[in-house]
Chains A and B, each alone.
Chain A
């Protein structure tokens, strides 16, 4: 029984996942575009000007969703990694590998938009705020994961090593976050908190939510696309990939 389950995981998954993902991707792209346009429209044109921060605050419509996404993607990555280690499935490693660059991009965007926000608000590009610092460390963790996977030639070993690193990272993230927070409260430098946005107007909340949804859809679409190409590359010697790439009209959909 368990043997059959594992075999199903091992041999059927990428093969059946590939066309499924191919069908889903356009939908996710479309949703990302719709949510993104709606969210940005509300955020930039409908939402009222903030009394204290003026127009500059509008960057949070990008900043907050990307920070959420960067943290969430790491969790998802660790989840796939754990699944891969537990069941030895090929798909999980590919998904973790496909998610990492998107997560890193989100962390980078979050830092960048944070800096853009900080300049007019605090008069400086960078503040050693607990959240910003943790986000920076998160970016380091993503880069470490990507670098480790890139450095190992054998994809199976790369997956497993990356999985262990992701799990170690996910255990450490709360510890790092609390230590940075502790450090931040002891060294009272710039004590402006990014989080304490004055009570948000309803429209602002909507804009933020829509932008967050757009980030979700974008991340899913991009991760699926990347997973598809990783699949093709890794499984290029298998029958189904050959059949797929075979130019014979019979093999085509």
Chain B
């Protein structure tokens, strides 16, 4: 479903990688590995269509993602290393606002349920600026609880989380893959995820 062929990434004067390619089908997960600065985040952003590759092509269901445009984005869930949450808003408001901006239906009960799942039950009405780093990350990851889109692209989802939260995220990813979804993620931790097939790609 997701194919990348011969991707090349140039940052400034440096060529971070070239000739990178892979193929990922429903129920499969791709681990991106590599030291810092080898272009993992750049590759993820390419897969989302944020950065055009210097060379090569990315296809989704056989069509180049540039041509699909909004059709592709409607099936994509990207979670960057930035949390994309607003400090001034409460976790609940953040979750509802991001769902609304992504044109998803998420009612308040579902949002509260998601926050409870990530362990923020009592914090739903507290402005995010009063939360710890790990809690902020959990707010961001709470989006995944009810996320039904087919392709998840996750940049370091386990960073700043305790083991319980890591297990929860691994669970969510596992359930997503069982539904036939795809996931691409970078991580430095080895976390067991129940998945049909786990592929690995090492950069640098």
Per the 8 Å Cβ criterion, residues 135-156 of A in contact with B are: 153-154
Name the CB-closest residue of B to A237: B13
Residues of chain A lying within 8 A (CB to CB) of residue B69: none
Binary flags per residue of B49-62, CB closer than 8 Å to A gives 1, else 0: 00000000000000
CB-CB nearest in chain B for A88: B52
- B interface residue count range (under 10 / 10 to 19 / 20 to 34 / 35 or more): under 10
Nearest chain A CB to B56 CB, angstrom units: 12
- Specify the chain A residue showing the minimal Cβ separation from B14: A237
Chain A residues with Cβ below 8 Å from B122 are none
Which of chain B's residues 25-54 have a Cβ closer than 8 Å to chain A?
none
B-contact bits for A149-186, CB 8 A (1 contact / 0 none):
00001100000000000000000000000000000000
Instruction: Report the 4 A-B pairs with minimum CB-CB distance, sorted nearest first.
Output: A237-B13, A154-B12, A153-B12, A236-B13
- A11 CB to nearest B CB, Å: 10
Q: Which residues of A contact B13 (CB under 8 A)?
A: 236-237
Interface of A is mostly: loop
Restricting to A68-123, which residues have a CB under 8 Å from any CB of B?
Answer: none
When C-beta atoms are compared, the residue in chain A nearest to B12 turns out to be: A154
Range class of the A interface residue count: under 10
Which residue in chain A gives the minimum CB-CB distance to B11?
A154
Contact with B along A223-253 (1 / 0, CB 8 A): 0000000000000110000000000000000
A-B contact list, 4 entries, CB within 8 Å = A153-B12, A154-B12, A236-B13, A237-B13
Q: How far does the alpha carbon of A218 sit from the alpha carbon of B113 in the complex, in Å?
A: 70
Contacts of A153 in B (CB 8 A): 12
Q: Nearest residue in A to B15 (C-beta to C-beta)?
A: A237
CA distance A154 to B11 in the complex (A): 8
A223 to B13, CA, bound (A): 24
A237 to B12 CA separation, bound complex (whole angstroms): 11
- Smallest CB–CB gap between B183 and chain A, Å? 30
* Cα distance, A224 to B12, chains bound together (Å): 24
Please name the residue on chain B nearest to A11 by beta carbon: B55
The CA of A153 and the CA of B12, in the complex, are separated in Å by: 9
Minimum CB–CB distance for B39 against chain A, Å: 15
User: Shortest Cβ distance from A245 into chain B, in angstroms?
Assistant: 16
**From residue 1 to 32 of chain B, which have CB atoms closer than 8 A to chain A?**
12-13
**Distance of A252 Cα from B195 Cα, bound (Å):** 59
In angstroms, Cα B10 to Cα A237, docked, is: 12
Per the bound structure, the CA–CA distance linking A154 and B10 in Å amounts to 11
Which residues of A have CB within 8 Å of B12?
A: 153-154
CB distance from B96 to the nearest CB of A (A): 33
Task: Give the docked Cα–Cα distance between A237 and B13 (Å).
Answer: 7
A153 to B13, CA, bound (A): 11
A6 to chain B, nearest CB (A): 11
B13, closest chain A residue (CB): A237
A154 to B13 CA separation, bound complex (whole angstroms) = 9
A79 to chain B minimum Cβ distance, whole angstroms, is 23
**Contact string against A for B residues 144-161, beta-carbon threshold 8 Å, 1 for contact and 0 otherwise:** 000000000000000000
A236 (CB) vs chain B CBs: closest residue: B13
Question: Which B residues are in CB contact (< 8 Å) with A237?
Answer: 13
